Amino acid sequence: MKKLLTVLFLITSATMLYAEAPELKNMMPNSWQKVTRLTEQEEAEFLSKVDLREYFREDDYAYYKQGSVLLEKEKVYTRIYREKCNSLEIYRVLSSEVPVEEALQITITDGVYTDEEKELFLKRPAISEIDFLKDGNIYKYIASIEYGAIYGTYPGFSYNYENIMYRAKNAEDVGVFITEDVYVYFDARDNNEFMFDRYKNQMIGNIGWCTYYESVKDLVEWGEDKADKIWIDTSAFLIDDMKCPLKYCIQNAFDGNPATSYVENTENDMIEIILHIGYIPDKLAIINGYAQNNSLYKSNNRIKTFKNLSGHYRSELEDDCLDYQYVPWEGNAVISTDIYKGERYNDTCIAELNFLYHNGWLFGDLNE
Residue 219 Cα distances to 56, 232, 280, angstroms: 18, 17, 23
CB under 8 Å, gap of 24 or more: what pairs does 149-153 form? 149/59, 149/62, 149/64, 149/66, 150/62, 150/63, 150/64, 150/122, 150/123, 150/124, 150/126, 151/59, 151/61, 151/62, 151/63, 151/183, 152/61, 152/63, 153/185
The 3-state DSSP class for residue 96 equals: strand
What percentage of the chain has pLDDT greater than the value 90? 65
Torsion sign, CA atoms 34, 38, 42, 45: positive
Mean per-residue pLDDT, 337-343? 98
Neighbours of 2 (CB within 10 A): 6
Mean per-residue pLDDT, 245-249? 95
Residue-wise pLDDT for 24-62, tens only, equals 999 999 999 999 999 999 999 999 999 988 888 665 545
Q: From CA 41, how far away is CA 16, in angstroms rounded?
A: 21
* pLDDT at residue 16 is higher than 60: no
Mean per-residue pLDDT, 275-299? 97
Burial of 357: CB neighbours in 10 Å, binned 0-12, 13-18, 19+: middle
Torsion sign, CA atoms 218, 222, 225, 227: negative
pLDDT at site 291: 98
Mean per-residue pLDDT, 182-190? 70
pLDDT interval class at 154 (50, 70, 90): low
The average confidence (pLDDT) of the chain is: 87
Residue 345 Cα distances to 151, 300, 302, 327, angstroms: 32, 5, 11, 27
pLDDT at site 189: 61
pLDDT at site 153: 65
Short-list 158, 149, 165, CA closest to 250? 165
Q: From CA 28, how far away is CA 332, in angstroms rounded?
A: 27
Distance between start and end Cα atoms, the chain = 44
H or E element: which one contains 28? none
H or E element: which one contains 260? none
The 3-state DSSP class for residue 5 equals: helix
Short-list 287, 252, 291, 277, CA closest to 333? 277
What percentage of the chain has pLDDT greater than the value 70? 88
- Contact between residue 352 and residue 253 where contact means Cβ atoms under 8 Å apart: yes
Side chain identity, residue 357: Y
